[in-house]
Structure 1
């Protein structure tokens, strides 16, 4: 098939309009229409249903559009590798991670990355859904479990635990529970055990709610849980990495915590040579080392 015709077809399918596709491609509507007709004749099929409000893909058109989407992503990946300078770090880097980790740990540390690489553009995609890296839904991911796909490069960054925290003013007003049974006198703040989250966190929430909890507020991400805690709403189930940025929080029931949650950085094998990936990987690694050092110093000071 003619690559140029496929490129034009993809633009039309994406825009749903010959006119809009022509504007994007800097071609006249008639030129775009001729190329689409030629492609349909070459394939001996109809790719679009035509009506007054625009174009709708036929079943055959959907099949071809799915193929051109994959091709476009692969071509974008190749172009990204070509554009990466041997000496400079620039351009867009699409980073995906969870809402909690991205908003509470990663985003506050990004100024250091921008200070070093001002021409880098980060597209931070925060969601619980695991994006498909080989299909280029994102360039690099930080995930709360080891990726299962074989064609990814992965590196373990750290391990975290889910623990119980409250604000000093909440504890001053409501008292500090000394056992799980005493949660009956408090409000628990957590993600719903059935919502998308790390499995270790869900297991801990189920264990806690097996007791007679006085009141239970559920939020669909850890950022919301944190807001509840720092505004004295109750005792929250939160990741332990927050203690450095929110040192005023008090750990409650120190013997209660989840199993370890591994944190992995992953990116496609095809981006191994990307300078942007390398810069981001080194930045995150340095921040994790600094995080561990501060945590060790904090634990040492508490022991002293």
Structure 2
């Protein structure tokens, strides 16, 4: 299989059209189409179903795409490691984490890391679903759970508690609940998604539901940062990680005697980046900011 044709195939499979792949490769649509047709002729199998709305990989195309994607991912990682300075950390670092942790904790501190490492360029990907680090969708991740992939290196960073908070103006209007049972008469702010990024994020709703007459959520929103804003704005009572509450110093912690769940945060990266200086300095930055020795 010709390398140039595989490169074109990879671009088309990722882009989903000859036109978009041509833009990436700086080739005409017809040139891209000819390369794909030539590759299909060599392999004697169709690689794409051609539709008016775009291209869809055939079963054989899916098989080839999986292999080619892995090859290009490995090459990209190898190039990055080869060009990285032996004396100091440099290059591009793609970081992924949840929208809540990214907005509430990481972004307010990222300027310190970038000032200390001026030759590192950051690509921050805020995504509540886990990106595939093995397929190089990102270089490193800060996740609110232990990694599920066995081939990833992990470092436990912190246990973030999930206290119950309310705004002073809300408590002035509705009173302060003295027990979980009393919360059933209050408005709740909950995380509104089928797959929340933080385990136990809606534990308060489950606790309240154990009491007869519990009300539903006053507000559901699929953003930890938005939950914090809503609680601080007096829309209701809610349980959020401590890192999401730090931006709002006026928040009142209620029922501090109640034992609340915790969120385990992990720093995760693939084995191939074990010796990367960019990864090492970012890991050290996280540990320093979290007070880990």
TM-score range (shorter-chain normalised) is 0.7 to 0.9
**Deviating more after overlay: 123-132 vs 26-35:** 26-35
Aligned equivalents of 1:187, 1:138: Cα separation in 2: 39
What residue is the counterpart of 2:186 in the other structure? 186
Q: Choose between structure 1 and 2: higher helix proportion.
A: 1
What residue is the counterpart of 1:93 in the other structure? 93
Q: Which runs of 5+ in 2 are unaligned?
A: none
Kindly tell me: are residues 10 and 170 of structure 1, through their superposed partners in 2, closer, same or farther at Cα, counting changes over 3 Å? same
Please, what TM-score do these two structures have when normalized by structure 2?
0.87
Q: Alignment RMSD, CA only? A: 2.7
**Deviating more after overlay: 172-181 vs 138-147:** 172-181
Alignment of 1:263 with 2:265, yes or no, is yes
Residue deviations 1:209-228 (CA, integer Å, cap 9, x gap):
33344562222222121111
What residue is the counterpart of 2:47 in the other structure? 47
Kindly report which structure 2 residues correspond to 1:1-304, keeping only aligned pairs within 5 A, or say none: 1-16=1-16, 18=18, 21-27=21-27, 32=32, 34-49=34-49, 57-192=57-192, 194-211=194-211, 212-214=213-215, 216=217, 217-289=219-291
Kindly tell me: are residues 256 and 6 of structure 1, through their superposed partners in 2, closer, same or farther at Cα, counting changes over 3 Å? same
Aligned equivalents of 2:173, 2:188: Cα separation in 1: 15
Q: How many residues align?
A: 291
Q: Which runs of 5+ in 1 are unaligned?
A: 293-304
Residue deviations 1:146-204 (CA, integer Å, cap 9, x gap):
11322111111110111100112222222211112221332111224854243333444
Kindly tell me: are residues 256 and 193 of structure 1, through their superposed partners in 2, closer, same or farther at Cα, counting changes over 3 Å? farther
Please, what TM-score do these two structures have when normalized by structure 1?
0.84
Aligned equivalents of 1:60, 1:182: Cα separation in 2: 60
